[in-house]
Amino acid sequence: MIRTLKNTYHLGKAALALSFNRHPSKDLIVIGVTGTDGKTTTASLIYHILQNAGAKVALITTLGAKIGDKTFDTGFHTTTPSPFALQKYMRKAKEENCKYLVLEVTSHALSQNRVFGVPFSIGVITNITHEHLDYHKTYEEYVKAKTKLLNNSKVLILNLDDDSFKFISHFLKKSDKPLITYSIKNSLADITSQMFDFTSNLLGDFNTMNILAGIAVAKSLGLEDVAIKKAIESFEAPLGRQEVVFNKEFKVIIDFAHTPNSFSQVLPQIKKQTKERLIHVFGSAGKRDILKRKLMGQQSSRFADVIILAPEDPRGEDVSKINEQIAQGFDKKFSLANLENTKKELIFFSVPDRKEAIDLAINMAKAGDTVVVTGKGHELSINYGKGEFPWSEHQVVQEALNKRGLA
């Protein structure tokens, strides 16, 4: 009841923002991208393909808004801005004579009517896995929230390989909208890597799926295959997505992965490229989906040799308790260690300060090891429970390297 009232309030706010800004999105071809993982990479790739094809295009993602030759900070931990901010950016895109707008859309934004009145020409769902159940309560409700994007889109693009497809198909049974599917496994899909050969700097099957989603969008917009392939070849992963920030005696990678599914996709790819130990630094956000914590621990322990549990926006929740819940998913071969006991093969640490956790990982790294720090990626703030404080994963990693004389 309370949530319904809140969403009604958000709806009114969105309607007011729409009217105040004179419905700018009606003059744009808006491409919406949602999903648990891969939203930012997919949206950024679509933007890159269109831009390389000579189109005037704007982009709004977790990383901010790109309109014309300007980049705008959309705020801390923000993917889809509030209605007034969103409509303002759309108005700017219209004023810059943009033809296209690529918009990363969250389930929260859809549920809260933040994108009310936006006529999506294309709606993309990358995948729907275990996340945000603190808010949506059940997986089915989470799927329903995501499908709101499809209900408001003219053309639908879906991942045939994702488990969510059967649920989404159920919700869309009565729909007669054009549906484009993509897959790396199923030859019945409309777009596959076998039928559309390309070269990319991005690694892993999960990125191949992101690329196929981008191809599906580009082809639905009528772009030529040659232009699409050329853009894919030059595309670089967005900030904080499998970003190698140090690669000498050992390797250090920063990634935004913060779900069980993203761990299951990112970590095995990194493990393949690691000669010695994979050292994984991560945590789980406080006052958010508790049920995913054990699953994150389970996935990390499948691939990591050393795990260092650290805060990831605990928001006042006891970090040690969060870490305990994550550790419940570890393989039983893992044992809790301290600085004096690091000789066992499979060990984990629980560190209450994220900077100290990263310092520990960098200090213990040896030749051939890979340190992967996940959960914060590009974000520039951290919340320990008393508001947002400045934070840069990149800066903290660099400072740790400097201490070792490895700048």
Per residue in 6-32, pLDDT tens? 666 667 787 887 887 888 899 999 999
pLDDT at 195: 92
Model confidence at 53: pLDDT above 70? yes
Q: Fold match between 2-234 and 243-403? A: no
**Burial of 95 per CB tally in 10 Å (0-12, 13-18, 19+):** exposed
pLDDT at 325: 97
Q: What is the mean pLDDT of residues 31-60?
A: 96
Model confidence at 135: pLDDT above 90? no
Contact criterion met (CB below 8 Å) for 99 and 56: yes
Poorest-pLDDT segment among 12-16, 185-189, 288-292, 338-342: 338-342
Model confidence at 199: pLDDT above 90? yes
Architecture of domain 2-234: 3-Layer(aba) Sandwich (3.40)
pLDDT at 10: 67
Confidence of residue 99 (pLDDT cuts 50, 70, 90): very high
The CATH number of 243-403, from 1.10.3210.10, 2.60.40.10, 3.90.190.20, 3.90.420.10, is: 3.90.190.20
Closest by Cα among 309, 329, 328, 330 to 320: 309
- Across 11-25, 157-171, 328-342, the highest mean pLDDT is recorded for 157-171
Confidence of residue 4 (pLDDT cuts 50, 70, 90): low
Model confidence at 2: pLDDT above 60? no
| Percentage of the chain exceeding pLDDT 90 | 73
Please report, for the chain, the start and end positions of each structural domain, with discontinuous segments joined by +: 2-234, 243-403
Poorest-pLDDT segment among 166-170, 205-209, 356-360: 166-170
Confidence of residue 76 (pLDDT cuts 50, 70, 90): low
Average confidence score pLDDT of the chain: 91
Poorest-pLDDT segment among 16-25, 124-133, 278-287: 124-133
Query: Tell me, what amino acid is at 58?
Result: A
Q: What is the mean pLDDT of residues 144-164?
A: 92
Helix axes 205-220, 39-52, angle to 10 degrees: 40
pLDDT at 167: 85
pLDDT at 6: 66
Model confidence at 201: pLDDT above 60? yes
pLDDT at 252: 98
Q: What is the mean pLDDT of residues 30-44?
A: 95
Top-confidence residue, 81 or 328: 328
pLDDT at 66: 97
Poorest-pLDDT segment among 86-100, 312-326, 329-343: 329-343
pLDDT at 63: 92
Contact criterion met (CB below 8 Å) for 273 and 305: no
Confidence of residue 138 (pLDDT cuts 50, 70, 90): confident
Closest by Cα among 48, 90, 43 to 62: 43
